[in-house]
Structure 1
Amino acid sequence: MRAPMSSRRPSRPRLAVYVTVAALVVLTSCGDEDSGQGGPDSPARKADGLVATLPDNSRVTLNPTAVQCVPSEEDPDVEVLEIFADLPGARLHIQAVPTDEARSFDLPIDAGDYESGAENISVFIGAPPDVEASSAEEESSGTLELLRASCAPETLEFKIDATLGSETADDGAVRVQGHLVAAGEQ
């Protein structure tokens, strides 16, 4: 008696065809560096991360995934979304005021102060030995697109293609590109 069709193994030639087709699908879906999407480390291929190019031309991938709502330093009655992460090779600090609509910014971005309170969004990157760069510095340039910023649920999403101006030296600017998505802890 033969086993039902669903429990039989495919014949060896049929199995070889399946393996070959699967290999072709994998190879053709990988693309190459000239495909317009960039190489494997290209920010265009990083759906959820930032790539920072430091002043010494070294690159650091910044991919924090957690964000939390905290009272603003400027005004404790106002909540802001915050990411504060010590990552291998860099420190990242992001603060964003929650908003119901997507917004686009040209850098530098006014992030507010103790007098006006927290505003908009700020991105800070630090790296040893003395790199400190911020989206609020006068020498900053480029764009930041704030896609989502909410405390309920805690979610922050933005795209950036910018140079953050140095807070400490004329030659300490940091190039940042990518798309960051972070959510609060469940």
Structure 2
Amino acid sequence: MEVSAFLKGMGLGGGLIIAIGSQNAYLLRQALKREFVLTCIAICVICDVVLIGAGVAGMGQLIVGAPALLLWIKIAGAGFLFWYGLRAARSALNPAAVATVDGAAPAIDRRTVIAAMLAFSLLNPHVYLDTVVLLGSIGGQQAGNGRWYFAFGAMLASLLWFTSLGLGARYLTPVFAKPRAWQILDGIIALVMFALAISLF
């Protein structure tokens, strides 16, 4: 029973986490720039672990029962995603503003990266719907200690995915040695951000 719950949590958690989103897009960009990659990975994993644990512990039911809170989270998240989408679109349309892998563009400081990574991890309502509400409700249905094995499976999926994405991006370095590749990436990121912002309402 415990093994089944663990595998179920890992499979469902992995399916939700791997789907392209603002969090993954920002982590990928930082990984390609090789700026504070481990910090970004740690933030992504810690946020997921806390949210999944909270969901399995029952917080998901509280969020579902507080539509006003969810509305304000959606408004804040949509505003942030739209703003970052505009930044990405500007970078895609302005070759001079495109960062290169070799560090030609000035690096941003750690505090800025931490703030942005936290925002992408916590201001996107989809994160709460996926981790706290969906995983929490399914995990809460597991018998006995099965819900915690389910949670651990989902948490492990998060750790494996974000570590692989952050550390594996280095193998794409030759591709992103050209500014044109960065323009395409920023264009895709802009579309993802706009689509996510619109999908919240």
TM-score, normalised to structure 1's length?
A: 0.22
Greater relative contact order (Cα < 8 A, sep 6+)? 2
Choose 1 or 2 for highest CA Rg. Answer: 1
TM-score (norm 2): 0.20
| Structure with the bigger percentage of strand | 1
